[in-house]
Amino acid sequence: MAARDVAKRTQDDLALSGNTSTRVAASRYVAAGAQLGQIPVEWRLDMVCLISREYNGNGYWWTFRSRHQQALKEASRRYLALGCGSADQLLVIPIASWATCLDSLNLVARDGHPRRFIHIRREGKRFSLHGKGGMPDLDVSQYLVP
């Protein structure tokens, strides 16, 4: 199967999926291309993409689950992408930077699976990760894709 066919199949899979949390199509495309000898394996990247609608005109909410964290342990280049209400507002955070933020998030464990709640507020062009229990907000504007 040609890499182009794999990319098309991946796009179709994503279009049919009602799941708002999935690895980005590029990851499967690159992995398939590496198997075909067309794309070097070291180019592999994994990305978990979570999408939120806008709440109250300036807020976004996501749940970062243990399966998301597990998915991001497998590649050398790993990112968390947070869609903020539209395709024009996407934060792409390297997992090394994200790992430092985890302790500032509210945590709930159900059925042995931890879930962290992400809340980002937008004020103009500034995006802030809201910390739990009075912890200071973290400016994540630098991760906004232009």
The 10s digit of each residue's pLDDT in 62-74 is: 999 988 888 887 6
Look up the pTM and report it: 0.69
pLDDT band for position 97 (cuts 50, 70, 90)? confident
What average pLDDT does the structure give for the chain? Answer: 76
pLDDT digits 0-9 by tens, 25-53? 444 444 454 555 565 656 667 888 999 99
Nearest-angstrom CA–CA distance, 53 and 86: 8
Nearest-angstrom CA–CA distance, 69 and 80: 9
